[in-house]
Chains A and B, each alone.
Chain A
């Protein structure tokens, strides 16, 4: 069974530019999550989808971040415009139900 996949694996952009990250969950997993780890900090929750609906977006830092999951399959996370403090590793995870979440390899975002 294929795991959670994320694209791109790395992205380097300049401050003020836009970046879109993509996550493909494990097939059949209705729950999809975005997390982020910034340098020297713990992994932090950003938001949670059930199918195409946002269940909890309490961790989204501000309105420069927009997550979508059209059709309830893959999800995108767009940062516009990017700021220096947005640099970090963005992880996507998915689960069937309950709490055992399986993580993708992450996208390492560097904003210069």
Chain B
């Protein structure tokens, strides 16, 4: 079983749509959670950290459910520029700074 599991997609949505991505992680001791965005053949860019209380940054909302070991990312009013791969990332509790990546969910926003 992978340490971080994501639906690979692709999610193909029209501009203006709302889309949600989910992620599960296997180690209940993980303490830090992130969403990164990666454009084709580029580096991962930090989109947002995910806090226990949930957090919002403009059109993006992240939620964490520790009991279910589940993280989500909601994107409202999708833009063409949101097309990318979204990586769910958690820290390895045995080595705080070691990040564990999911394989990513691909989003395609069409006009």
A residues adjacent to B (C-beta < 8 A): 31, 33, 35, 41-45, 48, 55-56, 58-59, 91, 95, 99-106
The answer to whether B43 touches A45, judged by C-beta atoms less than 8 angstroms apart, is: no
- 10 residue pairs A–B, Cβ–Cβ below 8 Å: A33-B97, A42-B101, A43-B87, A55-B97, A56-B98, A59-B98, A99-B97, A101-B46, A103-B45, A106-B43
- The smallest beta-carbon distance between B23 and chain A, in angstroms, is 12
Q: Find B44's partner among A41, A48, A55, A103 (CB 8 Å cutoff).
A: A103
The answer to whether A99 touches B32, judged by C-beta atoms less than 8 angstroms apart, is: yes
* Majority secondary structure, A binding face: strand
The answer to whether B43 touches A105, judged by C-beta atoms less than 8 angstroms apart, is: yes
A-side contacts of B96, CB under 8 Å: 99
- Measured as residues with beta carbon below 8 angstroms from the partner, the interface class of chain B is 20 to 34
**Nearest residue in B to A59 (C-beta to C-beta)?**
B98
A-side contacts of B99, CB under 8 Å: 33, 35, 45, 99, 101
Given known contacts A42-B102, A42-B103, A43-B87, A103 and B97 CB-to-CB distance under 8 angstroms? no
The answer to whether A44 touches B44, judged by C-beta atoms less than 8 angstroms apart, is: no
A-side contacts of B100, CB under 8 Å: 45
B-side contacts of A100, CB under 8 Å: 34, 46, 49
The answer to whether B95 touches A58, judged by C-beta atoms less than 8 angstroms apart, is: yes
